[in-house]
Each structure stands twice: as C-alpha cells, then as structure tokens.
Chains A and B, each alone.
Chain A
Amino acid sequence: MIEIFNPGWLAIIVDNGRYGYGDIGVPPSSALDNFAYSTLNYLTGNHTDSPVMEVMGSGFAIMFDVDITCAITGAKVSAYINDVPLKSWTSFKATKGSILRVKEVTEGLRYYVGFSGDMVLEKAIESFSTNLECRFGGYKGRPLMKGDIIEFNNVRIEEENAVAERYIPSMNPPHLLRTTEGPEIGHFTPNSLEDFLKNHSENTYSVSTKLNRTGIRLEGKPLLFREKVDKSIISEGILPGTIQIPGDGQPIIMLYERSVGGYARIATVARIDIDMLAHLKPKDKVLFQMLGIEQAETLWVKKKRKYLMTYFG
C-alpha cells in the first residue's frame, strides 16, 4: 500500500476516460495529457487503461509500504525519493518505507504518478476517472487527501525504463495551439478572426486564473460577433478542445468535463496540440493558428508515429 502524506494542490485518480454516455450528460473525465498518461502506464508495465494519479502543484508526498516500481510523467518536476533526486519520465524502484516528494514543478502544470501494480479502486460507469463535480469514480469520488491509503494487487518490480529526452514534449509558454474551424466560426467579424490568429504581442491571449478540468478561460482582445448573430447557440454536443466564445468575447477552451455547451464554437484545438492544454497555467501566453482539416490530420498521423517510436524505439 501507499499512504498520501501530501496531495499537493490537487491529486485525483484518472484513466482513459468514460465514453459512451454522452447521451445522459456524462463527460469523459479522462487524463488531460493523454501522451503522459499512456507513457506512464508503459513505463510501469501496466495495462494501457490503468488508473494513475493526476497531480497539480508542489508538495505532493507519498509513503511506500511496499517495494514497487514507480514513475512520474507529464509536467517536469524536481522529485526525490527520500533525499535522492529522481528523473521524470523514467521509472524507478521505490522501497518499503521510502517517501516520494515532489518539491517543485519546473515546466508544465499537471504531472502523472503511476505504479507497477493495480490500485484497489472501484470503477464507476466503466471508468476509474474521478468526476469531481458529481463526486463519483476515482478515490471515493473525491481528490486524494492526507492520510488516504491505497492498496495494490499484482505489485511488481519492473525493469527500469526511460523516455528519451527528445520525445518529452516541451511545456513552456508561449503555447502555440493549432486549431481547426469550429461550427460557428462564421459568427465572428473577419477583423476579429484575423486578430484572433494574428499573434502580435498586443493580441496574444493569456491564461486566466479561471481554469479547471472543465475549461480554461483566456483573457485578451475580445472576439466580436457579427451583427444580427445570436451570441449563444442552441445547446449542442461539444468535444474536448472546443474553443467557445461567450458574450464577453473571451475564449474558453473546453476540456473533459462537459458534453454540451451553448456558446459559439469558434475553433477546435487540433489533436496534435490537445495534450498541451493540460499544461496551460495562469498568465501563460497562448497563440492560435488555424489549420485545414487535412493538415491537422497529417500532423496527427506523424505524431502518432512518433508516439510509437517512443515506445518501441
């Protein structure tokens, strides 16, 4: 078992997500950084859909009451086991009685912690992911807290494994988000759209403090709606990465906790950049670029190949 000494700002259990229930309003609640998530399960030798911890903030600390292989991916952190520094994106052996501490997050926002073993947790609606808003899934439907204990089945010591530096994505701002056209792109004035994509210093957007797993609010030059266009739409299904523009003109990038929305959808973050959304933090600068759908697809196919390289050299 392990014991949570300190959950950092927020530590929750996530997995591949909860799909197939969009018709009853159930959102995916999946890990936000999919590459970091699946790489973590690869490093720990777990199933590709195993639950892991998604953590924000420094201070995170756990105590091991078992010998087990552990790894951290996602945001780059300075972490220590007892007082020995560790490398992110590299698996390591934790021995019974040792303490893992994350002292600082040096790049990015969310990091993932996983173990070579099956955390004893109950699935809710076919997934281990925590739905924080409705309090189900994960660990008792809530964030991890000091004193929580997680038991394991199938504990293993795996061979140490690492992701080559060149495959670890950079998470430093400014974040370039490549997008494809959203269904309501035509609701905005041409000038305003041009500004949205201009990326001049006076037009850049910055991440506001209003940020959670549902969405990220940005601040910048407000988008202008064309005359005679309704500012809201009839609520409709929305997919992760959709950029909605509410009446005040400030973009909201939707993540994995909503399945319908009623604001105009100007664009959708291309799949190639969607994992980056996990790492946008307050004050970070964000730049937008519009891709054609085929361009986006081509980039994604290339990236997929790179993913495979990560795992199979």
Chain B
Amino acid sequence: MNLYRYGESGIRIVFGNSIDLETHEKVRRYYYFLKSLRLKEFIDIIPSFNSCVINFNNNAISFENIVSLITERHGELDAIEIPQPAQHEIPVMYGGECGPDMEFVCEYSGLSDNEVIEIHTSVIYTVFTVGFMPGFPYLGTLDKRLYAPRLETPRLKVPEGSVGLAQLQTGIYPFESPAGWRIIGKTDKKLFDYKKEPYSLLQIGDKVRFIKI
C-alpha cells in the first residue's frame, strides 16, 4: 500500500497496478477500515479498482495530521469486520433492439449470439467499483472470448438498464446516458433509486450473475 497526496484536499491510497481480485479485496477492506474511523474530516471516500481516494476537509485538518490519524489506527485493519458481499441476479434481454452491439460482438469474437449469451451468463462477476454515474457497476472479470474494444465514437444515448461490455469488463447503465461500451442487452432491474437507501442496488464487492430472459 502506498499513500500519496492528491491536490490540496485529496489522498490516494494505492494497492497495486492491475485489476484483479486480490487487489480488489485489499481496496475493499481498506475502504471499510476508512469508514470505520468515522472521521468527520472525511468528506468523501471513493474506492475503485486499485485505490481509495479520500477527499478531506483541509479547512479543518492538515494533510499530515489526517495521515497520522489514519496510520495510527492501522493495527485495526485486519480486525475490522467487512460485510459479506450480497449476491444479485440481473435478468437481461439480450440482442435485438435491447442489444444493438450484439452483432458487432459476435463478429469481433467469431461467436454466435447464443454463445455470447452463454458465456456472459456463466460467470459470477464481482463489483470492482461503482462510478462513472450513480450506481454504475464495473463488473469483472469478463471472459476473454468476449473482449471487445470501446466504441471509437460513444453513442450519445443508451436507455436506462443497458448492459454493455468493453475490454474485460461488463456493466449496466443505471440511467439513460452517453455510452462508449458495446451494448448487448437490457435489464428492467432498477440499479439506482435516489428515494430509497442504500440508493445503489450494487455495492463494491457484491456478486452479480446475469440471467437470460
């Protein structure tokens, strides 16, 4: 783990250089550790694939002091309880109007659409991080056979619930949005609801399986 300053009010805590489950577990544990500190000087904690970024209130505390507050409590890191990941099933309508890039993915991979669906639904994915937009899960790891590049020119709009893939990741757009990923299907499951806590259906570390409907 390495700790860096990021601007006047940011701290980056970096756990590795790649997207893998081992790094993910370290990030996730550290994220829950940071939360458990309940420091009022933390404005936001943003965990992602290989790091936690903290936005702290530099009107209230200096970088040096907040770093020593964190490091003093490092002994607690292994002892903190982290929640069991929740398991989710996401029903997906694949192809056709719901998946405008299915054809491209088939062509690029040399697979039939049934094979693409079979492979996409056979993996239990991990939510590596939630970001880009509220509730958007970056799910991994996608089977290498489904590897597809991002669109060169992103679509200006895909509908809410669009299921896409790019490189070795797959994800779901919780809102109508511009999108650079290849869209292969659509779900009716609500990914984000600002009226109901915990707001995001998926949290970092959760497990996701897609079901063909």
- A residues sitting closer than 8 Å to B (CB atoms) are 19-28, 124-125, 131, 133-137, 180, 182-183, 234-239, 241-242, 258-260, 268, 270-271, 293, 296-297, 300, 304
A23, B46: Cβ atoms under 8 Å?
A: yes
Residue of A235, A238, A271 with most chain B CB atoms under a 10 A cut-off: A235
Q: Which residues of A contact B138 (CB under 8 A)?
A: 235
Interface footprint category on B = 35 or more
Instruction: Report the bound CA distance from A188 to B145 in whole Å.
Output: 34
Between-chain CB contacts (< 8 Å), 5 pairs: A22-B46, A124-B194, A260-B46, A260-B131, A271-B9
Nearest chain-B residue to A135 (Cβ)?
B175
- Residue B59 at the A interface, CB < 8 A? yes
Picked from A19, A133, A135, A304, the residue with its CB within 8 Å of the CB of B44 is A19
Instruction: Report the bound CA distance from A263 to B115 in whole Å.
Output: 33
Fill in one digit per residue for B28-51: 1 if any A CB lies within 8 Å of its CB, else 0.
000100000000000111111111
Supposing A25-B136, A236-B50 touch, asked if A125 and B43 sit within 8 A by C-beta, the answer is no
- Residue B199 at the A interface, CB < 8 A? yes
B8, A22: Cβ atoms under 8 Å?
A: no
Q: Which residues of A contact B26 (CB under 8 A)?
A: none
Nearest chain-B residue to A257 (Cβ)?
B133
B8, A234: Cβ atoms under 8 Å?
A: no
Q: Which residues of A contact B7 (CB under 8 A)?
A: 180, 182, 239, 241-242, 268, 270-271
Q: Which residues of A contact B130 (CB under 8 A)?
A: 23-25
Fill in one digit per residue for B189-213: 1 if any A CB lies within 8 Å of its CB, else 0.
0001011001110011000000000
- Residue B71 at the A interface, CB < 8 A? no
- Residue B53 at the A interface, CB < 8 A? yes
Picked from B19, B50, B199, the residue with its CB within 8 Å of the CB of A125 is B199
- Residue B129 at the A interface, CB < 8 A? yes
Supposing A23-B130, A25-B136, A134-B192 touch, asked if A183 and B6 sit within 8 A by C-beta, the answer is yes
Supposing A23-B204, A125-B199 touch, asked if A235 and B133 sit within 8 A by C-beta, the answer is no
Q: Which residues of B contact A180 (CB under 8 A)?
A: 7-8
B134, A22: Cβ atoms under 8 Å?
A: no
